[in-house]
Structure 1
Amino acid sequence: MTYLVTGATGNVGRQVVEQLRRDGHSVRALTRDPASARLPEDVEVVRGDLTRPETLTDALDGVSGVHLIGFSGDDYAPLETAAEVVERVARAGVRRATVLKGVQGEPVEEALQATDLEWTFVQPVEFMSNALDWAGAIRSGGEVREPFPEALSAMVHEGDIGAVIAAALTQDGHHGRTYLLTGPEALTKPDKVRILGEAIGRDLRYVELTEQQARERWAAEGYAPETIDFFVWVHGDPPEEGYTVVPTVEKVLGRPARTFAEWAAEHAADFR
């Protein structure tokens, strides 16, 4: 069987591709720019764009399952072409679909629910890979400057997200489910900095920024006011599901979710 992965060059998409490969499945990866995909040679890389559904015809040929993303572009706006994309997926004879839920991913989900496809929605909380945003500051100065030191996050390993998606695509028993995914623990930013320091063998410093200092930094980095307001909300007053540990990963995969310490050890070279 062949499985099509959209968003295949993203943090999660690459993990879905890799897990499907490890499980011995044939993988087709959809990307806007195949030349820069940098995927394994045994992955069939095809050109396509979810915002242009007419480009999907060849990519969907012979596919039994497809992983979709519910947003378009780097701004994570809802996918306006969702209905046509899903119509083409259903018309191609695809049996199963998974969706990586974005902040505003409802159009794809609603379109899938109106079909006969077996669907599974996957909603991860904060990715552990977000910590890579600190890599430059840690390498150069050994410190992380962030606001809201008390806020908790049950961040999840992107490899666990990919493994759950691959399981839902290839195994029975996941139709109609929405899987909220977290890691095995809720951590503060100082916790994360300490764990990263342990992974690289250095004493790292956490420097607390006030909300105003954080707003000024984000504005200087070019973020729009509404985006900055979103950052303040999600980091300063995160929703309960963002810091409440749930056992979904273990229930689906039969093994515990990976810890941030494991992630930090895997990525230690990025912070040295």
Structure 2
Amino acid sequence: MILVTGATGTVGGQVVRRFPAGVRLRLMARDPAKVTGAPAAAEIVAGDYGDPLSLARALTGVHAAFLVTTRAGGGDDAAFAAAARRAGVRRLVKLSAAAVLDPGADDFITRWQRAGEEQLRGCGLEWTLLRPRAFMSNALGWAASVRGERTVRALYPASPNACVDPRDVAEVAVRALTEEGHAGRAYTLTGPQTLTAAGQCEQLGRLLGVPLRLVELSPAQARAAWAARYPEPVADALLHSAERQRAGAKAQVEDTVRAVTGRPPRTFAQWAEDHLEAFAPAGQQPAAPAAPAGDRLARPVRPGSPGTA
């Protein structure tokens, strides 16, 4: 039995869809009613990291688990690892962030991710760490303004990020959960090349068949947008993350997705082509892509995208 936590999230939801047929799955969510796309045979259970009894129930009979925690600063990684050890779980695969490798990253979120990694390393179980860069799906934060105004608003739109498709992260997670040879490994996961917000904006407009306007936000505007949605320490962390990206800290491309899965990582254009309906005005079909199939690019951080990878 494999347990997937975060089954309603960006990566967890994709992990659920990518297991080979016949794998016994149990999905844990605070609200099981929100789980979608699960195989018919999957068990869906309610669970909360702050509720030891719910963790014990979710982990009974489980030999491997995918761990996603989102309560920055909390002790959820340690609580889950301890419950997993008590339940006899053999293998844990944790979703972390690439920022943990950057010595210049000392923000609230990155410190929390580093602490979570240390807790897993010392838990006595087999562990694998997944460290993605920013998700290409963060571009969905622009969907409303693209639909309504044909506008993308971004902080530091010329700064590069080797963002990754969440589906690629999910495929690596499934390999680590179902195959041998991944114990004690930490995988930094990126797309095949870097792209700026300006490049993403151009690429989206080309695929949609309409010109998009790019508006550069000031640091104060970006922080205000984040502070309206998240606690102050998270807003500060996101601004620090954007500054690191501006300095080039997120431009390094890794070939880990290919090494683990045997195929190259998806480009931003491939991700965008699969999500164009989110950006097209209601009732309007996206135009046929103007770029040739081989001319595909990749993405950065904008207001509304939590995470410091």
Give the structure-1-normalised TM-score: 0.90
What SS is found at the alignment partner of 1:237?
helix
What SS is found at the alignment partner of 1:30?
strand
Q: How many residues align?
A: 265
The aligned amino acid for 2:147 is R
State the alpha-carbon separation in 2 of the partners of residues 81 and 100 from structure 1.
Answer: 13
Determine which of 150, 153, 156 is the counterpart of 2:161.
153
The reply on whether 1:78 has 2:73 as its aligned counterpart is: yes
What SS is found at the alignment partner of 2:161?
coil
Residues 214, 116 of structure 1: CA spacing in aligned structure 2 closer, same or farther, 3 A cutoff?
A: closer
State the alpha-carbon separation in 2 of the partners of residues 116 and 231 from structure 1.
Answer: 33
Q: CA deviation at 1:14?
A: 0.5
| Structure 1 residue ranges without an equivalent (≥5) | none
State the alpha-carbon separation in 2 of the partners of residues 25 and 65 from structure 1.
Answer: 11
Q: CA deviation at 1:80?
A: 1.3
State the alpha-carbon separation in 2 of the partners of residues 59 and 214 from structure 1.
Answer: 39
State the alpha-carbon separation in 2 of the partners of residues 197 and 256 from structure 1.
Answer: 25
Instruction: Give yes or no for contact 1:144–1:206 (8 Å, CA) kept in 2.
Output: yes
The reply on whether 1:250 has 2:275 as its aligned counterpart is: no
Instruction: Give yes or no for contact 1:70–1:107 (8 Å, CA) kept in 2.
Output: no
State the alpha-carbon separation in 2 of the partners of residues 91 and 215 from structure 1.
Answer: 42
Pairwise CA RMSD: 2.0
Mapping of residues 105-144 of structure 1, within 5 Å: 105-144=113-152
Residues 70, 226 of structure 1: CA spacing in aligned structure 2 closer, same or farther, 3 A cutoff?
A: closer
Instruction: Give yes or no for contact 2:3–2:65 (8 Å, CA) kept in 1.
Output: yes
Instruction: Give yes or no for contact 1:70–1:78 (8 Å, CA) kept in 2.
Output: no
Higher-helix-fraction structure: 1
| Structure 2 residue ranges without an equivalent (≥5) | 98-109, 281-309
Mapping of residues 66-215 of structure 1, within 5 Å: 66-72=65-71, 77-101=72-96, 103=110, 104-215=112-223
Residue number in structure 2 paired with 1:50? 49
Residue number in structure 1 paired with 2:58? 59
Higher relative contact order (CA 8 A, sep 6+): 2
| Per-residue deviation, residues 42-86 of structure 1 (Å, max 9, x unmatched) | 3211011112222112211221100112442xxxx1341433421
Residues 32, 265 of structure 1: CA spacing in aligned structure 2 closer, same or farther, 3 A cutoff?
A: same
What SS is found at the alignment partner of 2:8?
coil
State the alpha-carbon separation in 2 of the partners of residues 7 and 99 from structure 1.
Answer: 11
The alignment-based identity, stated in percent, is 40
The aligned amino acid for 2:236 is D
What SS is found at the alignment partner of 2:45?
strand
Instruction: Give yes or no for contact 2:2–2:63 (8 Å, CA) kept in 1.
Output: yes
What SS is found at the alignment partner of 1:185?
coil
The reply on whether 1:270 has 2:278 as its aligned counterpart is: yes
Q: CA deviation at 1:237?
A: 2.7
Residue number in structure 2 paired with 1:37? 35
The aligned amino acid for 1:14 is G
Instruction: Give yes or no for contact 1:95–1:118 (8 Å, CA) kept in 2.
Output: yes
| Per-residue deviation, residues 77-128 of structure 1 (Å, max 9, x unmatched) | 1341433421221222211110011532244433332344211011111001
